[in-house]
Amino acid sequence: MANNGLKPIRRVVTGNDANGKSKVVWDGPAPDMNPNPIPGSGWIDFWVWNESPAPLNGTNDDGSLPYDFPGPPMGGQWRVVQGVGKPADYDAKKDPHIVAPHAPVEHELTRRWDRGGHSYYSGGMHKTETVDYAIMLDGGRTLVLDDGEVEWQPGDVVIDVGAWHQWSSRVPEGGRIAFDMIAAKFVDGPVGLAQGNDKILRDVPKLPAGVRPARRIVCMDREPNKSTLVSDGPSPDVHIDSARPGYASQRMWVTDGTPAKIVLETLHLPHSIEPPRGGSVLNVVTFPPDAVWKGKVSEADVKAFFKSMGSPGASAYSPSAPHPYMQKTQTLEFGIVTEGEIVLVLDTQEVTLKTGDFIVQRGTNHAWSNRTGKPATVAIATHDGKY
């Protein structure tokens, strides 16, 4: 087959029309598919930005911009990597893809280092000068670090803060991971150790009924050439909306500029909806069914919510708006529906999104409407943008 077993993924991209009204610009399979020679493996590019704040307007599909892995040094890239699993009859002696472990070697394109360890079903041990938001979509993957291994499941989030790491697919079906890779800066050259002494947050607040904890796995290097698991558990930062029982925004990480800093923790920063200038914020948001709160929410309730999130100016509330929680920020937003079904409400249209669908929002007025009888969850990475 043309894509050699690489599964297509729906991508919805929004923009603004000549009157400043939000609309859908593209809706269909992400076009930039890159199959590997191994059937069933490869990657799909969804968006690339070469500068930060990221551009929000224009007619160009930035999912097709050229770049060299690990991405632009002052921007980033959003993509999905599909890996094959370990066959039941796997024989290492017959595997032509095996590369033995070796001393660190910098790639000729720079900002990327390799230590070997490749095989048919496993990538090599590598390190990039990036902060990565990695979200498991389906299947199974093992995160291999120098101090141990972590098994993770669909919906789990790995925050890779410039660490040595390896991805291995030891289950027969393989797995797919979405990567939001953000340019970072190693202050100590290729060593790339975590800086500062920020306290790693672990205390987990109580979640509303019906909200599934969002697992946050954080890894980084605290010694030269040794990656470490520094945190693994539910997000310690949760925002709720008292007017919408069952709503929860579980914050995972913040970058406060580009290139991003290699630090131990970032959830002490105040940014929840809008990121710092030139930065980003990752949230896993659970939306309860609209029927739970519809007709009971006032303008004061909506404004109180956005104020509690630290972004009172984000609210686009109007009695005539298509949804009370309409919001607009000068941001580039990447969303993945990880559970359930939800409707993206725009000024001029609506689009129904299901589990596995991807969304790129370019500074558009919007709201999320759950018209089913079950909670829906969307992982949202928000980057500072400019028109």
The pLDDT value given to residue 2: 72
**Predicted local confidence at residue 1, as pLDDT:** 46
- pLDDT tens string 245-255: 999 999 999 99
Pairing relationship of beta strands 280-287 and 331-339 according to DSSP bridges: unpaired
Predicted confidence band of residue 213 (pLDDT cuts 50, 70, 90): very high
Q: What is the pLDDT of residue 110?
A: 86
| Statement: residue 290 has pLDDT above 90 | yes
| pLDDT tens digit sequence for 320-365 | 999 999 999 999 999 999 999 999 999 999 999 999 999 999 999 9
Which pLDDT band holds residue 190 (cuts at 50, 70, 90)? confident
Q: Once rounded to an integer, what is the mean pLDDT over residues 193-210?
A: 94
Alpha-carbon torsion, ordered 61, 62, 68, 74, to 10 deg: 170
> Phi, psi at residue 137, to the nearest 5°?
-90, -50
As its CATH architecture, domain 10-386 has: Sandwich (2.60)
Is residue 219 scored above 80 in pLDDT?
A: yes
Q: Does the structure show a pLDDT above 80 at 17? A: yes
Q: What percent of the chain has pLDDT over 90?
A: 95
Residue 146: pLDDT above 50? yes
Query: Would the pLDDT of 189 be above 90?
Result: no
Give the chain's length: 387
Q: Would the pLDDT of 224 be above 50?
A: yes
CA 333 – CA 378 distance, rounded (Å): 12
Average pLDDT over residues 254-272: 97
Q: What average pLDDT does the segment 78-84 reach?
A: 97
The tokens describing 159, both together, are 């925050």
Residues 6+ apart with CB under 8 A from 172: 85, 86, 87, 88
What are the structure tokens assigned to 199, written together?
Answer: 């306290």
Please give the backbone phi and psi of residue 41, each rounded to the nearest 5 degrees, phi first: -130, 160
CA distances from 64 to 31, 74, 113, 362 (A): 8, 18, 25, 16
DSSP state letter for 241? -
**pTM for this one?**
0.97
